[in-house]
Amino acid sequence: MPKPPKKKMLESEWSHFVEGQDVDSHEMRLSISPDEDQRASMSKRLDLDSIEFVKADVTLKRRKGNNVVHVMGRMKAKVQPVCVVTQEPFDLMLDETLEGWFVDKESAVSFAEVKRERDVVKMLGEIEITDEQSDPEPMVNGMIDLGEFVTQNLSLALPAYPRQDGAEHELITEEAQLNDKSPLRKNPFEALKDWKEKR
């Protein structure tokens, strides 16, 4: 019976592929970083002014006879988001732990084995069981894209409303300098009185 055609590998702004079958019970350790062009593309995707650097140290491992690959490690990055108060870019340092689970859904190994693996780990109390572990990310053509994995974790680590240190104080100072006679600083009871007089 002919094998089905392989899916086309879709590269992200930064892709670093690892063959899933190359990962066994012995730990595979890697240090990866995007180049300048890749960082520029990642900045656009993540709505950042720039990314100065990203470095991830990761370890990949699987249990003997199991099809689930466990990825863990640490990511450090220096990025420049735009402050929501000043509208100016500022430096932001990130230091985040990484953890993910990947499985080749096209392999002959069933998800019953994935469940058994989860139960074994839970019984041994080695690590906390996560939603990802109970439903691992799918590999594509047996490959794990570590670059995309790190990029997604970087996105999750970014603040929803980036604010530079001291930006609140600058805003308060500007408001304090408004003229006392400005309608923006009028006492709310005075405004009510004015409204009644007009009526």
Distance of alpha carbon 102 from the chain centroid: 16
Q: Which domain holds residue 45?
A: 17-164
Asked, for residue 9, whether it belongs to a domain, the answer is: no
Asked, for residue 146, whether it belongs to a domain, the answer is: yes
Asked, for residue 29, whether it belongs to a domain, the answer is: yes
Asked, for residue 75, whether it belongs to a domain, the answer is: yes
Asked, for residue 3, whether it belongs to a domain, the answer is: no
Asked, for residue 52, whether it belongs to a domain, the answer is: yes
Cα atoms found within 13 Å of the Cα of residue 128, Cβ hemisphere only: 3
**Token pair of 46 as six digits:** 């993540």
Q: Mean pLDDT of residues grouped by 10 in the chain (199 residues)?
A: 52 92 94 98 97 98 87 98 96 98 73 60 57 76 96 97 80 53 53 57
Q: Which helix (H) or strand (E) holds 144?
A: strand 143-145
Residue 69: strand pairing partners: 102
Q: What is the pLDDT of residue 153?
A: 98
Q: What is the pLDDT of residue 183?
A: 52
Asked, for residue 12, whether it belongs to a domain, the answer is: no
The backbone torsions φ and ψ at residue 75, rounded to the nearest 5 degrees and listed phi first, read: -120, 135
The three-state secondary structure class of 25 is coil
Q: What is the pLDDT of residue 33?
A: 98
The three-state secondary structure class of 78 is strand
Q: What is the pLDDT of residue 66?
A: 81
User: How large is the C-alpha radius of gyration of the chain?
Assistant: 25
Q: What is the pLDDT of residue 117?
A: 62
β-pairing, 92-103 vs 137-138, is parallel
Asked, for residue 36, whether it belongs to a domain, the answer is: yes
Q: What is the pLDDT of residue 64?
A: 79
| Type of residue at 182 | S
Count structural domains, the chain. Answer: 1
